[in-house]
A and B are shown apart, each in its own frame.
Chain A
């Protein structure tokens, strides 16, 4: 880019802007600078002298960032430490160590091998996850930025190489590599636009401006001799404050946040900026803001710990019993057992020291009964979760074709938590919306244009049509009903014909008529306005003015697009961009901006040729959230001065002139409709000014502008206020804040599944409310409770306290109101802003706030900071004790994502911070439905059943060991071979339970989606409550009793086969073990409700493996197999008693469970049972009607979502219809 063009571009925005470019005390002397004494203000930065910062004490951290948990050296010790923080692992470690001593009942290998396997697997997983984080960090660290290399030359360097004091040049659409002090920009007055979406989620561009003194540094060469010293605060996480001084040429200038460019924000609409690095790497504000990602554990896992503790207690208890038993036997009986040579023994069995022997035996027993605690539980769960996560990752229905991003389970240990979510806390921008505005409708002179319906309307229309057909399929009243439906969509309730056309439009569009010319930001369709045909409309004059306002009243810059020959617009907000695109499409193309003028090209006019018109911009009173309006004062080519204004309806309606209210009634009705359709509305108005009137005002305005002092802003505002009145209303615009695909439907489904949805956004309240409407979280007729902060400064004393009291009062009033509400259909929405929230989140008030919020159907928090998002999340999580899920896409959501029980990041948009911090990432919000309702539901059930089963089988197995103890004089001998026991957990029973955990599904995914109510089984924790756990444990106890005592009694003392041989320990143990294998595997087969060949293979394969093992083991050398040598082939298999024992015990063990489920199914079937049956008998195919009816009934009673919205409308309509009917009868009667 040549220097000439750059100069042309250099606009002095400060001349135009009224408010945000107020330069604070332009050149302050030393007294005015911040005094930076005391601790916390120690940082000194020598600009352009990074070398100084290589040595202490000015050595600051490099710009290298690392979010990994371990590095190469710390990995092994740290990871091992992490592993053995699990109680069970520690126990097994101790057991493994002890197994090297003679105390152990088993061989050392059989203890150490599984432990090494389990720990190794977990550590490998850890390492993999950390490696991924490292790669991500590397990507960020090796981004390149242009840096001053000395002598006025710039060159590219990696981010991680940047040091404090470096001068960097950041170009358009690049991220800032560190926290910078803005020196100058491509604009002459040192302004630049910054997008801070990653920091606070706000989509509006922020204006930053440099100090006056650094403005001359406009070019690379200028930095040759640049020097300066910055003294400022130490690194801190506060994004909105900055205190520091800039010292140059022995003059000191105060710095404030508006000169600071923060890392991870993005330069927009500005070609380049120069800046000095102040904070690098982990010192930067955004990194300071990031908290260590806490390791999260699911509820089931936490509960599992309790169960493990219970089992531990049980373990210690039975160990104590057996060691006391042993001590007693050793002391009193063993001296008589000459065959043990009691007098010639070690201290393990010393009858003279029974206490010592007892203690030794306690250790032995603890190891022996260790089978009560499933060592493979953790590793199995880990394996299952990894496989489940694979399913989630592979789910083609959660794959986003546009971005190519699949869903990703980043940490696999929360899968089952997905099935228990109670509250969803959602970010707005980028999550619910695409942050893309579409100009959809407008109302000009009281006539509404634009036939394309918003997504909300479409979704609702579809639903309503479906509902009506469903509810009265053969009702003769259908036509009337349908006409009624049309009524809602019609602009005027009486004009049925028009509305029918409209509905047709709705439907044709819904069917998916391909749009003729897809233009970003413009979805408007109406032949009355397009292609110049508006010239034939009755109010062509007004329409033209409307378009001109769109084209003039903004702060955007056109940028010619070489490909298309048209213009792209660099606008401050996407709304503005949409307006400009709309104006262009309507034929009022904004084509050039100079310092004082705006040029628009009008394509359609009476003459038929495009004319370029110049409008002189006299003043620009820009938008602020306080003013909620924006105006420009222009002089057109005829010399007429016009004030063009756009703003929020409430503000503009207040400022209308008496003669300007012609269209007020129509417009405001249409505004309501737009609002109901989920659109963002702005009202446009204008005012003609006479020359003297203007110049008088302008004088005053200039005076105000040049005032110095704190009152300047207020003064300016007042003056601006004087001008923006007596407006004449022209019309209104309706822009669709483009929701992400499928968001309303998804929210609807989630609401039906009984989930609560909160929206936390950094955006303005209006925007937030609009989005609330757009995604059906709010609807007309919902009672909205606004909680806001009153103006505290009005109160002289103790404003803090007054504010708090005020808020508390608002909260109590609102709660009272909800309590007194009688109408069951009444729904409340709570809307609260960030400032108020900061008070409401204080300890003394948060509980009241929470209880109010829980009573409300939807909660919207706006203007919340990232920290507050996290705080709200914590409040919900801790206050309600339910599972929370936070979903967001930007760095500003990181806190909330980490705080919530489950954090979901939206991938696919730039900025990976949210995804990095999240537990799951999905490409679009709509996938959340499938993630929760299908995968969450399944995973929850799978894990719950799996854990229960695990405890069952280990109790069933472990207790038999204990019973046998009693028969061996508590000596610690196990009836089974070491190898049987080793294989029990590792091979023989692990695969079926893993297949249960991976493949089990109670109902298919379609059914899950059709019956969102099934999801409620998760949050209510039906499958992992204590009753169920205890039930399973009791089942295990029962099975162990049956298996042991039946075996013992059948193999009592007589010959067990025709050959006359009696059963020895190996035979009894092997038979018993066979029974266990059969019983637990049949049990799991009964538990499963979804069989694929894999389950069959694993369950029956496990049993087969056992026999196979026995044969192989029996074939191995007798040295190795001991008494189990050829046991199956020679001793057991020919004995009928062996097979008949297996049969009777398997049957007996599973009898109670079978009875239980038979009983439950016939008396108290659960929802999924019934649906399974319906599916099994193909009733859903035969009886479509019943199926759909049940589907609609299955929806949870909710107060938010599309469905409810439609219902409310139907109710409303029915009411109306009834009234009309009665009116009609009255008429006919009279």
Chain B
């Protein structure tokens, strides 16, 4: 009963919080394939010469308060695969002195005889689609700093570690890194290196730090570089505000309501039982020897 009293309000509050969140989701991986490449997405995406630029328009359904978070969402991408998760080297990322420590990074540990920095499959497969937003032909700046954990920037990714020998191998994975900026400033990499728990995941791309009015349309110019076509993964662009509970997800509220409701129901049931057929606490007549007169 007590639980239900506590839980139902929490549930309602979380639901409200979730409902307050405004979210725009745009799936673009099929629409951004030129008509001539339809049915042959793979060769399109693998062809370095093809024009990958694509423009989308998004309509803001409700007033969105800043900051508006820009996410990219990948689907069917096993960032949590054991081979993938392990393919990194924290030592190397942290300090320039450890550039040679590439253990665990196999097969992206060395290229052309020298170590890759940052090594490993995770870094190698860095997401490389880019988004440019404009509102009423006026460019919206997307702030891509401060999207990663502060501790990651400060402690895990060294400010003296510069990308070296990156994407120089025979196979080119994802984004190329700017070799002049230290890793601690390359926040897209830092975010990417936080492997997701599920094969469907969103990662923060940047923040739009202006409010968006309802019904305004945003045009997005994106470069569709990243290959999700070979494994049939979807790509989505998500714009979302947050509340105290984070993004839009009703589930927590529903869970609270369910548990609270269940508690309420059970409590009522036991109260009814108690009223209908009360058992005095400590009533000796319930002792086993009193219940079965025949004895044991």
A residues with CB within 8 A of B: 105, 333, 336-341, 344-346, 348-349, 754, 964, 967-969, 971-973, 975, 1013, 1016, 1046, 1048-1069, 1118-1119, 1122-1123, 1125-1126, 1130-1131, 1135-1137, 1140-1141, 1143-1144, 1147-1148, 1151, 1155, 1158, 1162-1163, 1165-1167, 1170-1171, 1173-1177, 1179, 1186, 1189-1190, 1193-1194, 1196-1197
Contact = CB atoms under 8 A, between A and B. Distances in A.
A1197 B292 CA distance: 12
Given A341-B121, A1197-B295, A1118 B94 contact: yes
A1144 B69 contact: no
A516 to B, nearest CB: 45
Given A1055-B240, A1058-B242, A1155 B279 contact: no
17 contacts: A338-B227, A344-B171, A1053-B201, A1055-B69, A1055-B71, A1057-B246, A1059-B242, A1063-B196, A1064-B197, A1123-B195, A1125-B151, A1126-B155, A1140-B10, A1140-B245, A1151-B259, A1174-B282, A1186-B284
Contacts of B283: 1170, 1173
Given A1065-B85, A1196-B295, 9 more contacts: A338-B230, A968-B78, A973-B81, A1055-B69, A1068-B197, A1119-B91, A1123-B195, A1170-B287, A1190-B287
Given A340-B84, A971-B81, A1158 B256 contact: no
B252 to A, nearest CB: 5
Contacts of B151: 1118, 1125-1126, 1130
A470 to B, nearest CB: 15
Nearest to B295: A1197
Contacts of A1144: 7, 10, 252, 255-256, 259
B120 to A, nearest CB: 11
B81 A969 contact: yes
Contact of B251 (A333, A1013, A1050, A1123): A1050
B37 interface: no
A552 to B, nearest CB: 54
Given A341-B107, A1059-B242, A1167-B287, A333 B296 contact: no
Contacts of B83: 340, 345, 348-349, 971
Would you call the interface of chain B mostly helix, strand, loop, or mixed?
Answer: mixed
A1190 B288 CA distance: 11
Contact of A1060 (B69, B84, B256, B282): B69
Contacts of B110: none
A893 B289 CA distance: 36
Contacts of B14: 1140
Contacts of A1131: 149
Interface in B22-69: 23, 67, 69
Interface string B166-179: 00000101100000
A1048 B71 contact: no
A1163 B277 CA distance: 9
Contacts of A344: 107, 171
B50 to A, nearest CB: 18
Nearest to B257: A1144
Contact of A1054 (B195, B246, B262): B246
Given A345-B107, A968-B81, A1056-B246, A1063 B121 contact: no
Interface string B70-103: 0101000110111111000011001000000000
Contacts of B248: 1054
Contacts of A1050: 249, 251-252, 255
Interface in B218-233: 227, 230-232
Contacts of A1193: 287, 289-290
B247 interface: yes
B88 to A, nearest CB: 9
A47 B83 CA distance: 81
A1056 B84 CA distance: 24
A437 B234 CA distance: 96
A1062 B204 contact: yes
B290 A967 contact: no
Contact of A1051 (B77, B156, B197): B197
Report the 10 A-B pairs with minimum CB-CB distance, sorted nearest first.
A1054-B247, A1173-B282, A339-B125, A1064-B194, A1060-B69, A1055-B247, A973-B82, A971-B82, A1068-B197, A1197-B295
B198 interface: yes
Interface in B180-200: 194-200
Nearest to B91: A1119
Nearest to A1179: B282
Q: What's the interface size class on B, roughly?
A: 35 or more
Contacts of A339: 77, 84, 121, 124-125, 173-174
Contacts of B5: none
A706 B251 CA distance: 108
Nearest to B200: A1053
B197 A971 contact: no
Contacts of B255: 1046, 1050, 1144, 1148
B243 interface: yes
Contacts of A340: 78, 81, 83-84, 121
B121 to A, nearest CB: 6
A1052 B94 contact: no
B72 to A, nearest CB: 11
B252 A1137 contact: yes
Nearest to A1194: B289
A1049 B195 contact: no
B280 to A, nearest CB: 9
A1214 to B, nearest CB: 20
Nearest to B270: A1158
Contacts of A1143: 10
Contact of B284 (A1049, A1126, A1170): A1170
Nearest to B152: A1125
A972 B195 contact: no
A967 B284 contact: no
B116 to A, nearest CB: 13
A1151 B85 contact: no
A1058 B248 CA distance: 11
Nearest to B14: A1140
Given A1053-B198, A1165-B279, A968 B80 contact: yes
Nearest to A1187: B284
A1057 B204 CA distance: 12
B296 A1197 contact: yes
Contact of A1053 (B67, B202, B242, B252): B202
A1061 B149 contact: yes
Q: Which of B23, B82, B202 has the most CB of A within 10 A?
A: B82
Contact of A1062 (B199, B202, B244): B202
Nearest to A364: B82
Contacts of A1137: 245-246, 252
A1063 B203 CA distance: 9
Nearest to B226: A339
A981 B243 CA distance: 33
B246 A1135 contact: yes
A1147 to B, nearest CB: 5
Nearest to A1165: B286
Contacts of A1174: 282, 284
Given A333-B231, A1170-B287, A341 B108 contact: yes
A671 B166 CA distance: 109
B175 to A, nearest CB: 12
A971 B281 CA distance: 54
B75 to A, nearest CB: 9
Nearest to B126: A339
A1167 B281 contact: no
B80 A1054 contact: no
Contacts of A1162: 270, 273-274, 279
B268 interface: no
A1190 B287 CA distance: 9
Contact of A1065 (B125, B152, B195): B195
Contacts of A1065: 80, 85, 194-197
A1053 B286 CA distance: 53
